[in-house]
Structure 1
């Protein structure tokens, strides 16, 4: 029996190292990693999704995306036949955005975020107080792979301006009830992971490893 190809797409600017604890039974699944690439000049999200989708050679893959990666795999699915699309710590449409993202779109405030700050973790740390923030910065430093300012500006804009309002009902959504980036109160029709935060791909990996195989194999 041929193995089911599973493609994993990390979150905004993150490396595939965020999936280091994800393990699926090797006799059934074959894991592949997708990486962020620098967008072409004025490249739309749809064109970018088409370009990344073209890298997938196996038929009927499972696409799993985290956060912004979840938005991307939904767009990629328009250009290929997929077995399943699973999003983790993400959104199915811009209607699930928190209020601050909707305000950012209206006011274009996202253009004011100094991306150089995001790239300079140390200077960011000087502005942060408290153990929790510093722990997250250590995580961020370790898992941040794309340090290109052009990419970051593009990616933040693609998230804020994402125009999907009609949910693809076939998308499977896994979400933590303590997600502070996309609060659960705005999310509909998802599998809730208790205690799951926005980085639960790292700290709820046991739940994911136990449940993902059945979710993928479910014929619904």
Structure 2
């Protein structure tokens, strides 16, 4: 029996190293890690997703995306036949956005975010207090791979302006009940990880290693 190809897409600006502790049985799965490309000038999310599908060489792959990567793999699946789409710490439509993102869309407040601040983690660390915050910043520094301001502005806008209003019922959604970016109260139909935050792909890797293979192989999706 041939191995099932599984493609992992990281979150906004993140490197595929966020998946370094995620293990799938090598006898059954062939893992591929995708990385963000710098978008072309005025490139739409649809066109970007089409371009990213060129990196997929096998038929009927499993697409797994985290956060904005979860949005992207849903868009990619509109252009290829995917065996399964799994999103983690993400959303299935813009109806699952928290109020602040809906307000940001209406007011265009996202255009005022100074992207250079996000990129300059060293400066951010000077204003942070406590070991927990500094630990999180060190994590971000390790996993933030795309430090291009044009990419960041593009990505933030594409998240906020994502126009999908109807969720694909075949998408498997894994979400933490402590996610502070996409709060669980706005999320419908998902497998809930207790104590999972927005970065649970990093610190709940044991859960994924114990459950992800079975979720991929499930023939019928079901919500927990």
Q: Is this a same-fold pair by TM over 0.5?
A: yes
Q: Determine the C-alpha separation between the residues in 1 that align with 2:146 and 2:185.
A: 30
Matches within 5 A, 1:79-94: 79-94=79-94
Aligned length: 220
Distance in 1 separating the partners of 2:118 and 2:25: 36
User: For the aligned residues, what is the CA RMSD?
Assistant: 0.7
SS at match of 2:90: coil
Shift of 1:134: 1.8
Distance 2:132 2:160 in 1: 26
Please report how far the alpha carbon of residue 132 of structure 1 lies from its aligned counterpart in structure 2 after TM superposition.
2.6
Distance in 2, matches of 1:18 and 1:86, equals 16
Aligned residue number for residue 131 of structure 1: 131
Question: Equivalents in 2 of 1:107, 1:180: separation in Å?
Answer: 21
What corresponds to 2:6 in structure 1?
A: 6
TM-score normalised to structure 2 length? 0.97
1:53: which partner in 2?
53
SS in 2 for 1:78: coil
Task: Give 1:126 shift.
Answer: 2.3
Give the match's secondary structure for 1:123.
helix
SS of the residue corresponding to residue 134 of structure 2 reads helix
- The equivalent of 1:77 in structure 2 is 77
Distance in 2 (alpha carbons) for counterparts of 1:10 and 1:132:
23
Cα deviations across residues 142-197 of structure 1 (Å, max 9, x unaligned)? Answer: 00000000000000000010000000000000000011111101101000000001
Alpha-carbon distance in structure 2 between the residues aligned to 1:101 and 1:131: 29
Q: Distance in 1 between matches of 2:125 and 2:107?
A: 27
Q: Helix, strand or coil for the counterpart of 2:71?
A: helix
Which 4+ runs in 1 deviate beyond 3 A? none
Distance 2:57 2:161 in 1: 30
